């Protein structure tokens, strides 16, 4: 039997519940129609190639079907047997692999996936998800808060831990490393771990509140595992991983170790924009968020609903997906970050609701009276916003919030 591109297009096909269904936006090359391009996408992302094949008898048909063409979007259904259970890199080598560079399309973007039970059940998913708020911090009624010391890199270990201490006693829950701080000579990982947890313990004792630290373990996989073990030994609750630069297979390995150790994972998405920024090409943030949930991160940056300094794709829709029912898999806590400051918090919570983590770097340390005051201002803004209390009213009893509002107002930074 010959296998040609035409075999991968069937507009009368109705996807089965067990199929993984992907939606792509495509721009066919000049010599292609939507139909011919769609059949090539289905073929190259499953079991086809450019040459017609004689498959013979001894063959299981793992072909995908392009079943819908709707304007510049197409739907492709993949049989679950195409995928190795629990192997995210293999799934992506199908649905976001060679097709991204195919000459039959000028551009192609993976927009969305519907994940069937059989594929979902291959993954562990998050160990905590949004229950970190209650299980780690014992708070239910407000977003948790985090800050990242600035400048991003270059602070000494001592200064980095001091900034954390100031933020914690000012009322924030989490100190977070920046995405490009790992184990450099000006601030070695092991020293930072020891000094920061020491500062954390003091801050906990002084405030009577639970405090935690998102230390960045990003590295090659073996080193990440060693650093993860070190975090558990130091009494940490979380590791932070730059999930896109690290790669999904490595994240899966870290997730397994975190399961053994009872640690949560904070996922920074640095480099996501290389995949998702151009609206006609790449992989959407929505899909990157879906992958993040399946491989089991607990917290994920999903943007500020357009309020902050960075371009955002549909923060609210992505957050809704992260919380949606997925065959009983835990949810993921969205992290809003990037140019946030206290004056933006009410608009942010109006868009996202309170079940998030509010993260601000410059919007804390750039406070006119420094980090501790900046932390007080952010905490006050969060507490007022969940009660729907206007910030100007709260500022009457929080001079730090008043100073932040005077400096930054309620505007998006540029
Ligand atoms: C924020 C941040 C985060 C970005 C990541 C930064 O600092 O530390 O990495 O928020 O973007 O380095 O820019 P500021 P996203 O609070 O000082 O802006 O959350 O969109 O992935
Ligand atoms: Mg950063």
Query: Which atom of ligand 1 approaches the CA of 338 most closely?
Result: 10
- Say yes or no to pLDDT of 15 above 50: yes
Question: Encoding tokens for residue 17?
Answer: 């519940």
User: Mean pLDDT, to the nearest integer, of 189-214?
Assistant: 98
**Best residue among 361, 364, 374, 413 to mutate for probing ligand 1, ranked by most atoms within 8 Å of CB:** 361
328 is in an annotated binding site: no
64 is in an annotated binding site: no
Residue 178 has pLDDT above 90, yes or no: yes
Q: What is the mean pLDDT of residues 245-260?
A: 98
Q: Residue 327's CB: how many other CB atoms inside 10 A?
A: 12
Which residue in 211, 266, 268, 281 is the catalytic one? 268
pLDDT for the residue 50: 86
pLDDT for 4: 85
Residue 67 makes CB contacts below 8 A (sequence gap 6+) with: 10, 11, 12, 13, 14, 15, 75, 76, 77
Ligand 1 centroid to Cα of residue 152, in Å, is 10
Please give the mean pLDDT across all residues of the chain. Answer: 97
Q: Quick check: 293 pLDDT over 80? A: yes
Tell me the domain boundaries of the chain: 2-120, 129-408
Mind listing the pLDDT tens digit for each residue in 231-248? 999 999 999 999 999 999
Output the pTM of the full model: 0.97
- Pocket around ligand 1 at a 6 A CB cut-off: 148, 150, 152, 178-179, 269, 301, 303, 309-310, 337-340, 360-363
Q: Which residues surround ligand 2, an ion (CB under 5 A)?
A: 178-179
Q: Is 359 annotated as a binding residue?
A: yes
Ligand 1 pocket: which of 146, 147, 148 to mutate (most atoms within 8 A of CB) = 148
- Asked which of 54-63, 85-94, 313-322, 405-414 is least confident by mean pLDDT, the reply is 54-63
**343-400 tens-digit pLDDT:** 999 999 999 999 999 999 999 999 999 999 999 999 999 999 999 999 999 999 999 9
Tokens of 329: 């898999």
Q: What is the pLDDT of residues 389-398, one digit of tens each?
A: 999 999 999 9
Q: Is the pLDDT of residue 160 over 90?
A: yes
> Are 60 and 81 a contacting pair, CB within 8 Å?
yes
Q: How far is the CA of 311 from the centre of ligand 2 (A)?
A: 14
Query: Does this chain's domain 2-120 share its CATH topology with 129-408?
Result: no
The CA 111 to ligand 2 mean position distance, Å, reads 26
Question: What CATH class is the domain 129-408?
Answer: alpha beta
Ligand nearest to the CA of 147: 1
**Mean pLDDT of the region 251-280:** 97
pLDDT bin (cut points 50, 70, 90) of residue 1 is very low
Reply yes or no on whether 347 is catalytic: no
At the fourth CATH level, the homologous superfamily of domain 2-120 is: RuBisCO large subunit, N-terminal domain (3.30.70.150)
Mean of the pLDDT values across residues 22-35? Answer: 98
Model confidence at 2, pLDDT cuts 50, 70, 90, reads: low
Contact 103, 67 (CB under 8 A): no
Spatial distance between the Cα atoms of 86 and 93, rounded to a whole number of angstroms:
13
Is 178 assigned a ligand-binding role in the annotation? yes
Share above pLDDT 90 across residues of the chain, in percent, rounded to a whole number = 93
Q: Answer yes or no: is pLDDT of 103 > 50.
A: yes
Strands 282-283 and 105-114, sheet pairing: parallel
Phi, psi at 22, each rounded to 5°: -115, 145
Distance 178 CA to ligand 2 centre (A): 5
Distance, CA of 343 to CA of 374 (rounded, Å)? 12
């Amino acid at each position: 039997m010959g296998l040609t591109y035409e075999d991968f297009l069937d507009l009368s096909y109705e996807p089965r519940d067990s199929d993984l269904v992907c939606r792509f936006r495509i721009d066919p090359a000049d010599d292609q129609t939507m139909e011919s391009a769609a059949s090539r996408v289905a073929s190259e992302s499953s079991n086809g190639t450019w040459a017609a094949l004689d498959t013979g008898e001894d063959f299981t048909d793992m072909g995908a079907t392009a079943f819908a063409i709707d304007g510049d979007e197409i739907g492709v259904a993949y049989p679950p047997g195409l995928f190795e259970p629990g192997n995210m890199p293999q799934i992506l080598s199908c649905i976001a692999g060679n097709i991204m560079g195919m000459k039959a399309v000028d551009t192609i973007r993976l927009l969305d996936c519907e994940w069937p039970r059989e594929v979902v059940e291959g993954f562990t998913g998050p160990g905590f998800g949004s229950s970190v708020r209650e299980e780690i911090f014992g708070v239910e009624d407000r977003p948790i808060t985090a800050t990242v010391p600035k400048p991003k890199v270059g602070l000494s270990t001592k200064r980095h831990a001091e900034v954390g201490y100031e933020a914690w006693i000012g009322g924030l829950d989490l100190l977070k490393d920046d995405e490009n701080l790992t184990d450099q000579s000006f601030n070695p990982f092991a020293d930072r771990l020891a000094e920061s947890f020491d500062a954390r313990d003091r801050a906990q004792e002084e405030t009577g509140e639970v405090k935690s630290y998102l230390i960045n373990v990003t590295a090659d996989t073996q080193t990440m595992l060693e650093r993860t073990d070190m975090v558990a030994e130091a009494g940490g609750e979380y590791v932070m991983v730059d999930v896109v630069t690290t790669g999904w297979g490595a994240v899966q390995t870290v997730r397994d170790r975190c399961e053994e150790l009872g640690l949560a994972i904070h996922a920074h998405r640095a480099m996501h924009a290389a995949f998702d920024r151009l609206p006609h090409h790449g992989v959407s943030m929505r899909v990157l968020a879906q992958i993040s949930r399946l491989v089991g991160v607990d917290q994920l940056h999903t943007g500020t609903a357009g309020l902050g300094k960075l371009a955002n794709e549909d923060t609210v829709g992505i957050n809704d997906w992260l919380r949606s029912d997925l065959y009983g898999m835990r949810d993921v806590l969205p992290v809003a970050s990037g140019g946030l400051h206290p004056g933006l918090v009410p608009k942010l919570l109006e868009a996202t609701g309170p079940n998030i983590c509010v993260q601000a770097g410059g919007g804390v340390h750039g406070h006119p009276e420094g980090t501790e005051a900046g932390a007080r201002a952010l905490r006050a803004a969060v507490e007022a916003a969940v009660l729907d209390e206007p910030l100007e009213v709260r500022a009457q009893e929080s001079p730090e919030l008043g100073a932040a509002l005077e400096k930054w107002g309620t505007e998006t930074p540029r």
